[in-house]
């Protein structure tokens, strides 16, 4: 007993001596890997989220997703087609270089170049004019109220560094040697990349020269990808890691019950929905021949009303989902409250089917990913069981995402009759949803490439065009509401829910869980 306490005291002493300056290390794991450090190679949440700790955009989003000034101190629309950005002075990149207007112009050029996956961040016809060292103008071909909506993830690179290291070209998979920018990073953000081994471990260190006042107290952040859900949860429960995400919904209770860990949950922006082939004259996977039952709105409504969304919420999602009546998160659209789901009513659904001429139901094949969204396969299974109750037999084809997307997207010729998909508008705005999911498309996918079912409603198309250029927010929201109403009335889609976010966090860590599922180290404190 005595020896033990002495040892403990000694440990305390050394700990005390070492922590004159509290050195805090945050260890966290995510399900996927950080494949490379070039900020323009992959337009994907985790990559951009990670690099957002190292690089910064002209704007950034706060804990509530509100747009804040970052590398640009402020901006104004000097003429309808001319935006002026006043850049922050005395900002230095990690290598000590100054941040100037040149860097912005260079970054715009690079992000639009071949091989970039973020070309849409800046409209192709936009021109950049350097006014002085710290002022930049963007000249557009027409008014665009949402120009800067995605600029929080359009990261500014150092021109000098990039040119010096021969990394002007965006890292491409057809290169035979690794691009310098894929393995190294030089941003202006609160953290530097200390070491990076793709797919294994990435270590970040605090940037002491950051322009903003840090609210975090971290010195080092260690990231490890852990792909197996059970292992990721185990690593948190055993105290090996301070934070893991995402955690399976079923383990939330376990993590909360465990001493020392807590599950942080919140709404996410991704909407999960069902879509139906409404373009072909005969479904590819069905026993109905010579016609396409999904062209009939009654059949679509029947499917809608057959789905017990509360059952899915309670049993599959363990209450970690928000049933949705529209195709966008209510956080991203002010008039979302105006919509209400068609009620769950299997009898009404059956009646609708009978009215449409399918009293005995029919068989349809359903495509579903099994490693993409939260409980995706379980949702599809539940949907299949619910449809069975109205006489529709669903042949479920649940596959890994690599095969699923290869089949249902344009590159697979939209090879599906009935599918489950999720969508988060990158710009956090409805125009993105309308133009990607709800406009007409041709067989090659020109138009709305992710309108996999290929329904076509001219009214939605023309509304989408109006919304793009409408500057008055109130009027714009009205137009958006009209478009969503048309989709709802015709049941072009069956929206299911916004899935929830679930992160597992050690009790001594405080952080901000943003609804866009980005994990920003600058909000973290560890005690």
Shortest distance (Å) from residue 218 CB to other proteins: 21
- The least distance separating other proteins from the CB of residue 96, rounded to whole angstroms, comes to 27
Of 74 and 314, nearer to other proteins (C-beta) is 314
CB of 212 to other proteins, least distance (A): 28
Q: Which of residues 65-104 bind other proteins (CB under 8 A)?
A: none
Q: Which candidate, 462, 463, 466, 442, places its Cα nearest to that of 454?
A: 442
Nearer to other proteins, 171 or 321 (CB): 171
- Is there binding between residue 18 and other proteins (CB under 8 A)? no
The CB-of-482 to other proteins minimum distance in angstroms stands at: 24
Cβ contacts of 310-313, under 8 Å, gap ≥ 24: 310/344, 311/382, 311/386, 312/379, 312/382, 312/383, 312/496, 312/497, 313/497
**Closest to other proteins by CB, 207 or 498:** 498
Strands 418-423 and 261-276 come out as antiparallel
Cα torsion 309, 312, 313, 314: sign: positive
Of residues 41-70, which lie at the interface with other proteins (CB under 8 A)? 41-44
Give backbone dihedrals phi and psi of 212, rounded to 5 degrees, phi first: -95, 160
Nearer to other proteins, 309 or 460 (CB): 309
Residue choice 312, 467, 479, 524 for contact with other proteins (CB under 8 A): 312
Among 130, 409, 468, 486, contact with other proteins (rule: CB under 8 A): 409
The residue (of 210 and 493) whose beta carbon lies closer to other proteins is 493
Region from 70-78, 275-283, 330-338, 364-372 binding other proteins, contact rule CB under 8 A:
364-372
> Residue 447 has what DSSP assignment?
B
Contacts with 433 (C-beta within 8 Å, 6 or more apart), sequence order: 327, 328, 423, 425
Q: Which is nearer to other proteins, 136 or 384 (CB)?
A: 384
Q: How many residues bind other proteins (CB under 8 A)?
A: 102
**Of residues 65, 126, 348, 410, which one binds other proteins by CB under 8 A?**
410
Binding to other proteins in span 248-267, by CB under 8 A: 248, 250-251, 253-254
SS3 (DSSP) at 247: coil
Please name the residues in contact with 305: beta carbons below 8 A apart, sequence gap of 6 or more: 342, 343, 344, 345, 346, 348, 349, 352
Separation of alpha carbons 448 and 464, rounded Å: 11
Which part of the chain contacts other proteins (CB under 8 A), choosing from 328-336, 385-393, 492-500, 513-521?
A: 385-393
Residues 269-308 binding other proteins (CB under 8 A) are 284-285, 308
Question: What binding mask, one character per residue, do residues 114-133 give for other proteins by CB under 8 A, x or -?
Answer: xx-xxxx-------------
Minimum Å gap between C-beta 201 and other proteins is 8
CA dist 194 and 220 (Å) reads 9
- Is the previous residue joined to 246 through a cis bond, with omega within 30 degrees of 0? yes
Element at 498 (helix H, strand E): strand 493-506
And the tokens for 383? 């949907």
Taking CB under 8 A as the rule, does residue 246 contact other proteins? no
Of residues 100 and 305, the one with the C-beta less far from other proteins:
305
Q: Does 323 sit near other proteins (CB under 8 A)?
A: no
For other proteins, the binding residues in 470-509 under the rule CB under 8 A are: none
C-alpha 450/C-alpha 73 separation (Å) is 36
Q: How far is the CB of 184 from other proteins (least distance, A)?
A: 12
And the tokens for 479? 């137009």
- Interface residue with other proteins among 146, 219, 445, 465 (CB under 8 A) is 445
Q: Which is nearer to other proteins, 122 or 136 (CB)?
A: 122
Nearest to 184 by CA among 37, 35, 49: 37
Pattern of binders to other proteins over 198-237, x per CB under 8 A?
xxxx----------------------xxxxxxxxxxxx-x
73, containing H or E segment: strand 72-79
Please answer whether residues 358 and 293 qualify as being in contact, where contact means their C-beta atoms are separated by less than 8 angstroms: yes
C-beta of 97 vs 119, nearer to other proteins: 119
């Amino acid at each position: 007993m005595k020896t033990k306490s002495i040892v403990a005291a000694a440990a305390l002493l050394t700990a005390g001596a070492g922590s004159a300056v509290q050195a805090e290390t945050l260890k966290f794991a995510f399900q996927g890997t950080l494949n490379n450090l070039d900020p323009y190679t992959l337009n994907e949440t985790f990559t951009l989220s990670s690099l957002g700790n190292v690089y910064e955009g002209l704007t950034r989003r706060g804990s509530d997703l509100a747009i804040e000034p970052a590398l640009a101190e402020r901006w104004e629309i000097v003429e309808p087609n001319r935006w002026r950005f006043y850049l922050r002075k005395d900002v230095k990149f990690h290598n000590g270089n100054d941040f100037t207007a040149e860097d912005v112009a260079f970054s715009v050029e690079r992000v639009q170049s071949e091989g970039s996956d973020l070309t849409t961040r800046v409209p192709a016809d936009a021109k950049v004019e350097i006014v002085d060292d710290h002022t930049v103008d963007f000249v557009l071909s027409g008014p665009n109220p949402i120009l800067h909506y995605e600029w929080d993830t359009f990261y500014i690179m150092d021109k000098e560094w990039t040119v010096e290291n021969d990394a002007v070209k965006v890292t491409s998979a057809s290169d035979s040697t690794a691009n310098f920018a894929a393995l190294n990073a030089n941003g202006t953000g609160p953290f530097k990349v200390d070491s990076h081994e793709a797919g294994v471990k990435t270590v970040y260190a605090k940037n002491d020269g950051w322009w903003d006042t840090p609210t975090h107290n971290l010195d080092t952040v260690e990231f490890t990808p852990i792909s197996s859900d059970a292992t990721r949860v185990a690593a948190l429960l055993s105290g090996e890691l301070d934070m893991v995400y995402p955690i399976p919904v079923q383990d939330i209770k376990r993590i909360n019950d465990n001493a020392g860990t807590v599950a942080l949950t919140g709404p996410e922006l991704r909407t999960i929905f069902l879509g139906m082939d409404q373009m072909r004259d005969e479904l590819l996977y069905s026993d109905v021949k010579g016609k396409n039952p999904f062209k009939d709105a009654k059949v679509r409504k029947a499917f809608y009303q057959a789905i017990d969304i509360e059952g899915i919420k309670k049993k599959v999602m363990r209450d970690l989902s928000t049933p949705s009546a529209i195709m966008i998160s209510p956080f991203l659209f002010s008039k979302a409250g105006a919509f209400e789901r068609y009620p769950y009513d299997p009898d009404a659904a059956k009646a609708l089917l009978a009215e449409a001429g399918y009293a005995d139901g029919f068989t349809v094949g359903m495509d579903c990913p099994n490693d993409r969204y939260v409980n995706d396969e379980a949702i599809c299974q539940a949907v299949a069981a619910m449809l069975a109750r109205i006489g529709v037999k669903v042949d479920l084809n649940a596959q890994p995402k690599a095969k699923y997307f290869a089949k249902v997207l344009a590159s697979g010729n939209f090879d599906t009759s009935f599918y489950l998909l999720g969508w988060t508008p990158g710009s956090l705005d409805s125009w993105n949803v309308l133009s990607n999911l709800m406009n007409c498309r041709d067989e090659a996918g020109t138009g709305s490439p992710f309108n996999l079912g290929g329904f076509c409603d001219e009214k939605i198309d023309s509304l989408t065009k109006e919304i793009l250029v409408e500057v008055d927010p109130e009027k714009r929201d009205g137009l958006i509401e009209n478009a969503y109403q048309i989709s709802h009335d015709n049941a072009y889609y069956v929206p299911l829910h916004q899935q929830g976010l679930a992160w597992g966090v050690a009790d001594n860590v405080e952080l901000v869980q943003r609804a866009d599922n980005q994990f920003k180290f600058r909000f973290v404190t560890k005690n």
